[in-house]
Structure 1
Amino acid sequence: MSTRKVSEPGDLPAAFDAAAPTYDRLVDTNPGYHSHLRLSARRMMLPDNGRGLRLLDAGCGTGASTAALLRVAPEAEIVAVDGSEGMLAEARTKRWQGAVRFVHSRIENLADTGVEGPFDGIFAAYLLRNLADPDAQLQAFRALLRPGGTLAVHEYSVIDSRFATAVWNTVCATIIIPAGRLRSGDASLYRYLRRSVNRFDGVATFCNRLRTNGFTDVHSQTVPGWQHGIVHTFLAKASA
């Protein structure tokens, strides 16, 4: 397998293309990975099984976040977007019940694909940390949402806690990076993952970033298990 070095966010689509064939097997070994995505989707409080709702899954990868949305909103229309064609190819091999459409696009270029709002909800899992300009993307999300629509950001944030930072770096060094190298032959993507989490906003800083970019009712909750205090659901409403 060819090596895909990752030093900046712009390198990620090619790195994910290379990692796509083994990606699901790797994340499936992470206790809580799928249940935590479902928990964040439930926290969106989408009514009536999603009937009549239009949802955007921003950065859908191989479809784990899409499946989480479908679990809580099986009757919604879901537009799932990712910048890696390799990850989308994996997602498309799976059986999907309901109205799900996959779109190949970097989220920053979504308008170029003809995907337009309004959406009733946006789910962004493990995405904002990887963008060169998260403020611009949050403003774009705000413009895509109906007034009062819900944004859920499912993301790592450890910088506020020495304990969370220590756990994260220990798990990366002893499990995630070695497993990534073993399964894919290249640990570049997983070393980037470690670095990107260490430098991402703290919880309070990211909540303030959401408010600054036009969101209200901002709050966060963490997840159970070993990722308690490491992975968080950030919830916000688009201002009217």
Structure 2
Amino acid sequence: MRSTTTAEVPGAFDAAAPAYDFLVGMNPGYHEALRRSASGLRLSGGGKGLRLLDLGCGTGASTAALLAVAPEAEIVGVDASEGMLARARRKHWPDTVSFVHARAEDLLAVGVRGPFDGVFAAYLVRNLPEPDPVLEVVRDLLRPGAPFVVHEYSVRDSLPRTVIWTAVCWAVVIPSGAVATRTPGIFTYLWRSALAFDGAGALRDRLRRTGFTGVRSDTVSGWQRGVVHTFVAHAPRGEHG
């Protein structure tokens, strides 16, 4: 079974898009964990008057999480997969939510401009061929001191969690995904990409290295404890995006 490569990820998600919401709905706590991470933005007043970027929005699950914690905010969702975005656009959204088809590497080229009052990136950084340049762009798109929240798989720091992740992938995720989408490569890629990705400590260091301040992280609850993490960072104060 050939695994999808990083460069092939957007196209693979196009193929998997019709079954994507069904598959994540089978994951206990998936949407609750997204909302919990989105709440790490710590936005006041329901987000009224604020502008938020949902980077790697997919079919809109992370957008819905942002909307739950900031119902009054303007939200711009961006994703590289047109198939995933097509699913997102079919859902009911307030007029304050919009979607843009673009790779994270191409935000400026497609006219996505700051400043933003917060950026949320769920399951995105692991899929970037070169994360640091994208993180630097995100930093510059934020208002000074504004939050950046990353919701991501990271198991490299823990052998027990690596074992759990592998067991869940091969017992549930890969076979279910293969049956539902007939594109098993994206699910073997998911397994491998999490194994190869930064440990939590390394990702915190990466965020600091690319100019973020106040970096911290926590893990989600349930079976994903130690597997999925919330990373919170802030744009440096005194620099405008």
- TM-score normalised by L of structure 1: 0.97
Identity of aligned residues (%): 57
Determine if contact 1:75/1:98 at 8 Å carries over to the other structure: no
Give the match for residue 95 of structure 1: 92
Residue 40 of structure 1 pairs with residue 61 of structure 2: no
Residue equivalent to 1:172: 169
Distance 2:58 2:46 in 1: 23
- Alpha-carbon distance between aligned partners in 1 of 2:61 and 2:43, rounded to the nearest angstrom: 18
102-111 vs 58-67, greater mean Cα deviation: 102-111
In 1, distance between residues paired with 2:7 and 2:108? 18
User: 2:186 and 2:163 mapped to 1: Cα distance?
Assistant: 20
Deviations 1:61-95 (A, max 9, x none): 00000000000000000000000000000001100
- The match for 1:20 is 17
C-alpha RMSD of matched pairs (Å) = 1.1
CA offset at residue 6 of structure 1?
4.9
Q: Which runs of 5+ in 2 are unaligned?
A: none
2:220 equivalent to 1:227 = no
Q: What does 1:134-149 correspond to in 2, within 5 Å?
A: 134-149=131-146
Task: Give the corresponding residue for 1:132.
Answer: 129
Aligned to 2:205: 208
The DSSP-based 3-state class of the residue aligned with 1:207 is helix
1:197 aligns with 2:202: no
Q: In the alignment, does 2:97 pair up with 1:109?
A: no
Counterpart-to-counterpart distance in 2, 1:41 and 1:161: 25
Residue deviations 1:149-195, cap 9 Å, x none? 10000000000001110100000010000000110122110000000
Give the conservation status (yes or no) of the 8 Å contact 2:207–2:233.
Answer: yes
Other-structure match for 2:46: 49
Show the counterpart of 2:71: 74
Please say if 1:29 is aligned against 2:22: no
CA distance in 2, matches of 1:201, 1:80: 25
Counterpart Cα distance in 1 of 2:100 and 2:183: 27
Alpha carbons 1:6, 1:15 under 8 Å: kept: no
Once the two structures are superposed, what CA deviation does each residue of 1:199-233 show, in whole Å capped at 9, x if it has no partner? 00011111011111111110001001000000000
Please say if residues 76 and 98 of structure 1, whose CA atoms lie closer than 8 Å, have aligned partners that are also in contact. no
How many angstroms apart in 1 are the aligned matches of 2:214 and 2:95? 30
> What residue ranges of structure 1 are gaps of 5+ in the alignment?
none
The amino acid across from 2:108 in the alignment is: A
Q: Indicate conservation of the 8 Å contact 2:4/2:188, yes or no.
A: no
SS in 1 for 2:145: strand
Please tell me the residue identity of whatever aligns with 1:162.
Answer: L
Residue 211 of structure 1 aligns with an amino acid whose one-letter code is R
- TM-score between both structures, scaled by the size of structure 2: 0.96
More strand by percentage: 1
* Match 1:58 to one of 55, 58, 65: 55
Deviation (angstroms), 1:7: 3.5
Task: Map Cα deviations across residues 109-162 of structure 1 (whole Å, 9 max, x no partner).
Answer: 111111100101000000000001111111011010011010000000000001
